[in-house]
Chains A and B, each alone.
Chain A
């Protein structure tokens, strides 16, 4: 870390690319997501007819695009990175050409995603037109130069549209409507990767934007962000309780988790560090759950209802224990990373005196215990009615699921290292 401390933030390509703590954090997380998902995707791509290389190339392309996105200082570079990443994800969603659901998911994701990109680009252009801002640091300088009272409305609208474009990618309500359909339709083995990369990149960029660029004008957006957070929690909790499809349930749980992460990012520097911890802990659980799903029904199939889980405990105890750990982690039970991340986040929110948000988040936790425990009940407690299809657990899946479950517990018992890392990311802005 000392090595980087002397060098960051350093910029390249005439200040279009930036290497600061945020981009390091984002790149490492994106690399881990790729590492954990690459072998299953590689392996399943051989089952696709004539498309052996496409899935692999698209996976690598989207990681490269999102890495470019978190490294970008310039907003146009951000847009290019986002598009490289997203377009690869649109194609990945429809990689299983024979499946109608997969095609539907791809088309939906593409149409709504490109609309969001348009909004984002329009926001960037408004910022340029009004104050000739093109980058993260320029925004800070421009705002402090012109004074908070004199910021033109056009700039504020531009910033707002840029943020909305990013909120679409993290599926925060009311921009969440694509997520359940895309999660449900895409091949199961790819959803974990698709969800995790987009979330990591967009949240890291949002965090940098909120802390570095908008530190002075965050007050103007407070109401907007509070509404987004409350809506995300409300819509996520309400819809998650009635889902019977597991992938839709995880999608709505992702909406809630986005609300949680946003609440930290938008409330200050300490809150952001708590959110980054939360993000890392959540990504671990998310990837783990989708790995388990893809082991059960195969990487390329799209369907995964709750019945697919029944009898998991009898068929494979290892998978069902790991699955329970991930779900309890999402619910935020103590001894898992979910509890530590919620505790730190809520403590920071309380110290910023955001009491309404705290109560809303805590109520959603209660609702969470209802819908996170339901799949555990089906997987581990209920006796299966039909015969359980055999599960072939490959060694690599066994190792990655075990590592992720172990991480969930380890981060819950010894959270010190990751917390220190997440504080190191924001230390310059304290």
Chain B
């Protein structure tokens, strides 16, 4: 092997930041170069991710790669680590960033700030997925806010001020609990090891008392659940999704919602398992409420973007149900569903963006009969809707089926109730499709719409290919999540056996 793995990992983190600097240093007059350059800059992390698929480590369980002294007198280090789950989510991020650069229109591609913000966002998200200690996880987790603030604030919709402040305040409120949890863990680590070491390898060797474990689980999980978002903490999400520009929505739904679930899988459950066993029932109940609530509210929406936003709450509820069930099948399903939801909701937001560019409206009732003027668009939208509903043969089915199968072993009633979420998904997606695409053209503004052009097709079709690929050959993606899910399952079984 010629290329060292740690070098690739540094590339994944630092290259987007380098790209952002390059974009900011470009002369303003050469705006036609921004988009090609951005696409080129995001191809490199993408190809690193592709290359990593050939590497054996990318299937493995968590492995720490590098550790840098940060504050030496307190013994604080910044560590980097990597596992199969991180690899999948990194690949998802890089493909969504690449495709959202392809899909942006001239209004945005002329702006340095827009492209630079997305690259900074890419940097921060990659940092979260590659973080090897609690402090760097928190730093990158918070750093996501800076580009999102500007993306939503400058290029958002009419009500962007309210949505942005709400998004920031919710996230910061959640993250102070992560911060306090980090501090608490640091103090415990100091009392046991003599340094403020917070990397995951040290954490796995620490002994937490039952009380500490419960408190820390609550602190960390609360912070992450705001980001997921779990049912009562979700209210920032519809506003943020609707007001964000298309590329912002794609990354928000596709990647940022995964950050919370990733944190729970990487930190909360493995290290604070006793707390997890104590509070998993509450999380499971709330996630089932979220599944049904999100779906029912989605049915009633008149704005297609808001409908997809509420469907995200429902789908992320499935992820949280799978996580809280805590057995191998449901955990695998949850990680796969995270990737699936990234692909489908990313594609749906992109598709909504395409039609919004043409009509500057997102009200479902403004459309009707789009199938006649935009046949390719209608076909792609239907395909993506099926993937979102969970039609067998497409990716949504794999994840949701595994989650429901797995969680039936732990929570029989809850998983039976949540199965209705799939039915409700069919109702809201297909009804929306029916109202937007079928029938006669009622609104004469829709008569002269042109179908998707090559650029738009190129930017959405890779996602459809991936949906189909995961749907018909799920064991490929399953082999990348197996080790992570296995380790969490082992820990959960160890502790639940010990308690009995």
The answer to whether A and B assemble together is yes
Q: Is B414 an interface residue (CB 8 A)?
A: no
Which of B135, B138, B149, B172 makes the CB contact (< 8 A) with A366?
A: B172
Closest beta carbon of chain B to A156's beta carbon, Å: 32
Asked if A415 and B71 make an inter-chain contact with CB atoms under 8 angstroms apart, the answer reads yes
By a CB distance below 8 angstroms, the chain A residues around B186 are 347, 350
Q: From B49-57, B175-183, B432-440, give the one contacting chain A.
A: B175-183
Asked if B146 and A373 make an inter-chain contact with CB atoms under 8 angstroms apart, the answer reads no
A142-194: which residues lie under 8 A (CB-CB) from chain B? none
By a CB distance below 8 angstroms, the chain B residues around A419 are 71, 73-74
Closest beta carbon of chain B to A418's beta carbon, Å: 10
With A339-B139, A381-B150 in contact, do A366 and B173 touch (Cβ < 8 Å)? yes
By a CB distance below 8 angstroms, the chain A residues around B179 are 343, 346, 362
With A335-B139, A365-B176 in contact, do A350 and B74 touch (Cβ < 8 Å)? no
Q: Is A5 an interface residue (CB 8 A)?
A: no
Q: Is A333 an interface residue (CB 8 A)?
A: yes
Which of B71, B74, B138, B154 makes the CB contact (< 8 A) with A334?
A: B138
CA distance A358 to B179 in the complex (A): 11
Asked if B180 and A347 make an inter-chain contact with CB atoms under 8 angstroms apart, the answer reads no
By a CB distance below 8 angstroms, the chain B residues around A334 are 138-140, 142-143
Q: Is A377 an interface residue (CB 8 A)?
A: yes
Q: Is A423 an interface residue (CB 8 A)?
A: yes
Interface string of B183-225 (1 = CB under 8 A from A): 1101100100000100000000000000000000000000000
By a CB distance below 8 angstroms, the chain B residues around A420 are 72-73
Asked if B138 and A358 make an inter-chain contact with CB atoms under 8 angstroms apart, the answer reads no
Asked if A365 and B172 make an inter-chain contact with CB atoms under 8 angstroms apart, the answer reads yes
With A362-B176, A373-B149, A381-B153 in contact, do A350 and B187 touch (Cβ < 8 Å)? yes
Closest beta carbon of chain B to A256's beta carbon, Å: 15
By a CB distance below 8 angstroms, the chain B residues around A365 are 172, 176
By a CB distance below 8 angstroms, the chain A residues around B165 are 370, 373
By a CB distance below 8 angstroms, the chain B residues around A339 are 139, 142
By a CB distance below 8 angstroms, the chain A residues around B466 are none
Q: Is A410 an interface residue (CB 8 A)?
A: no
Q: Is A122 an interface residue (CB 8 A)?
A: no
A357-416: which residues lie under 8 A (CB-CB) from chain B? 358-359, 362-363, 365-366, 369-370, 373, 376-377, 380-381, 415-416
CA distance A346 to B186 in the complex (A): 11
By a CB distance below 8 angstroms, the chain B residues around A333 are 142-143, 145-146
Q: Is A344 an interface residue (CB 8 A)?
A: yes
Asked if A363 and B187 make an inter-chain contact with CB atoms under 8 angstroms apart, the answer reads no
Q: Is A351 an interface residue (CB 8 A)?
A: yes
By a CB distance below 8 angstroms, the chain A residues around B168 are 369, 373
> Count of B residues near A, CB < 8 Å?
34
Closest beta carbon of chain A to B154's beta carbon, Å: 5
CA distance A365 to B174 in the complex (A): 12
By a CB distance below 8 angstroms, the chain B residues around A230 are none
Q: Is A328 an interface residue (CB 8 A)?
A: yes
Q: Is the interface of A mostly helix, strand, loop or mixed?
A: helix
Most chain-A CB neighbours within 10 Å: which of B71, B143, B183? Answer: B183
CA distance A359 to B173 in the complex (A): 12
Q: Is B302 an interface residue (CB 8 A)?
A: no
CA distance A351 to B176 in the complex (A): 17
CA distance A172 to B3 in the complex (A): 57
Asked if A416 and B154 make an inter-chain contact with CB atoms under 8 angstroms apart, the answer reads no
Asked if A369 and B74 make an inter-chain contact with CB atoms under 8 angstroms apart, the answer reads no
B217-257: which residues lie under 8 A (CB-CB) from chain A? none
Closest beta carbon of chain B to A376's beta carbon, Å: 8
Closest beta carbon of chain A to B327's beta carbon, Å: 35
Which of B138, B161, B176, B187 makes the CB contact (< 8 A) with A347?
A: B187
Q: Is B279 an interface residue (CB 8 A)?
A: no
CA distance A351 to B158 in the complex (A): 46
CA distance A416 to B78 in the complex (A): 13
With A362-B180, A416-B71, A419-B71 in contact, do A328 and B187 touch (Cβ < 8 Å)? no
Q: Is B169 an interface residue (CB 8 A)?
A: yes
With A333-B142, A333-B145, A373-B165 in contact, do A416 and B172 touch (Cβ < 8 Å)? no
With A358-B183, A369-B169 in contact, do A377 and B72 touch (Cβ < 8 Å)? no
Asked if A343 and B183 make an inter-chain contact with CB atoms under 8 angstroms apart, the answer reads yes
* Residue of chain B at shortest CB distance from A368: B172
Asked if A416 and B72 make an inter-chain contact with CB atoms under 8 angstroms apart, the answer reads yes
CA distance A366 to B184 in the complex (A): 19
CA distance A344 to B72 in the complex (A): 12
By a CB distance below 8 angstroms, the chain A residues around B183 are 343, 346-347, 350, 358
By a CB distance below 8 angstroms, the chain B residues around A363 are 176
By a CB distance below 8 angstroms, the chain B residues around A377 are 153, 161, 164
By a CB distance below 8 angstroms, the chain A residues around B164 are 377
CA distance A8 to B168 in the complex (A): 48
With A346-B183, A419-B74 in contact, do A366 and B176 touch (Cβ < 8 Å)? yes
CA distance A328 to B176 in the complex (A): 16
* Residue of chain A at shortest CB distance from B160: A381
Q: Is B70 an interface residue (CB 8 A)?
A: yes
Closest beta carbon of chain B to A1's beta carbon, Å: 14
By a CB distance below 8 angstroms, the chain A residues around B154 are 380-381
CA distance A370 to B170 in the complex (A): 11
Asked if A350 and B184 make an inter-chain contact with CB atoms under 8 angstroms apart, the answer reads yes
Which of B70, B138, B139 makes the CB contact (< 8 A) with A416?
A: B70
Most chain-A CB neighbours within 10 Å: which of B71, B138, B150, B169? Answer: B71
Closest beta carbon of chain B to A322's beta carbon, Å: 14
Most chain-A CB neighbours within 10 Å: which of B70, B74, B186? Answer: B74
* Residue of chain B at shortest CB distance from A412: B139
B130-145: which residues lie under 8 A (CB-CB) from chain A? 135, 138-140, 142-143, 145
Interface string of A118-156 (1 = CB under 8 A from B): 000000000000000000000000000000000000000
Asked if A351 and B138 make an inter-chain contact with CB atoms under 8 angstroms apart, the answer reads no
CA distance A380 to B71 in the complex (A): 33
CA distance A261 to B227 in the complex (A): 31
Known: A347-B196, A358-B180. 10 other contacts (CB 8 A): A333-B142, A335-B139, A344-B71, A347-B183, A351-B187, A366-B172, A369-B172, A416-B73, A420-B72, A423-B73
A interface with B by C-beta (< 8 Å): 328, 333-335, 339-340, 343-344, 346-347, 350-351, 358-359, 362-363, 365-366, 369-370, 373, 376-377, 380-381, 415-416, 419-420, 423
In the A-B complex, the 7 residue pairs with the smallest Cβ-Cβ separation, listed nearest first, are A334-B139, A381-B153, A362-B176, A334-B142, A369-B172, A350-B183, A351-B187
18 contacts between A and B (CB under 8 A): A328-B146, A333-B142, A333-B143, A334-B143, A340-B71, A344-B74, A346-B180, A347-B74, A350-B180, A362-B176, A363-B176, A366-B169, A370-B169, A373-B149, A377-B153, A377-B161, A381-B150, A416-B73
